[in-house]
């Protein structure tokens, strides 16, 4: 039986990660590869999960990565990872990616995904994590949606 811990807010583990699209990250058209974007998302989400759990965490699943618009060589990619809900040893993390083209004032959403991470102990077994305490309406909505997605997955 895994013993539960206290609570934390999503803000306490929010991660902002910035990348620049280099030629090695693209396909022959010079467009950012989807797999590269997912790798950056996975890293941002792992930092978020591990900061929340204060433990090593592994990726258990990546749900429905969506790509809305292309990014090209030289674009700056801003990734934001935030925990939506924590269960016993698992946590759902939402990651969105915006691109910024140098010389243009606005950022554009290019993709997002949901990942589930599981905290593990020194023996590699699932370990308990802090619960989430939403502190505003947006966090509360994400929290409720995550709970219903988990029921759906089960």
Kindly state the smallest distance separating residue 38's Cβ from ligand COA, in Å: 12
Kindly state the smallest distance separating residue 57's Cβ from ligand COA, in Å: 9
Output the six-digit token pair for 20. Answer: 């620049």
55 vs 78, beta carbon nearer ligand COA: 55
Sign of CA dihedral 117, 127, 87, 48: negative
Footprint on residues 103-132 left by ligand COA (CB under 6 A): 116, 118, 120, 126
Q: Considering only residues 4, 33, 51, 88, which one is a binding residue for ligand COA as defined by CB under 6 A?
A: 88
86 vs 110, beta carbon nearer ligand COA: 86
> Are 146 and 98 spatial neighbours (Cβ–Cβ below 8 Å)?
no
The residue whose two tokens read 């140098």 is 102
CA 90/CA 112 separation, integer angstroms: 20
Footprint on this chain of ligand COA (rule: CB under 6 A): 58-61, 87-90, 116, 118, 120, 126
């Amino acid at each position: 039986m895994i013993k539960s811990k206290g609570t934390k807010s999503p803000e306490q583990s929010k991660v902002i990660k910035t990348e620049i699209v280099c030629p090695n990250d693209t396909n022959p058209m010079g467009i950012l590869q989807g797999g590269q974007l997912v790798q950056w998302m996975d890293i941002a989400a792992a930092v978020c999960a591990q900061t929340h759990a204060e433990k090593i965490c592994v990726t258990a699943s990546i749900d429905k990565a969506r790509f809305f618009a292309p990014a090209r060589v030289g674009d700056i990619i801003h990734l934001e990872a935030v925990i939506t809900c924590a269960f016993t040893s698992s946590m759902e993390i939402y990651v969105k990616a915006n691109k910024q083209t140098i010389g243009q004032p606005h950022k554009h959403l290019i993709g997002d995904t949901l990942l589930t991470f599981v905290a593990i102990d020194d023996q590699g077994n699932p370990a308990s994590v802090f619960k989430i305490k939403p502190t505003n309406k947006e966090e509360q909505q994400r929290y409720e949606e995550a709970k219903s997605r988990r029921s759906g997955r089960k």
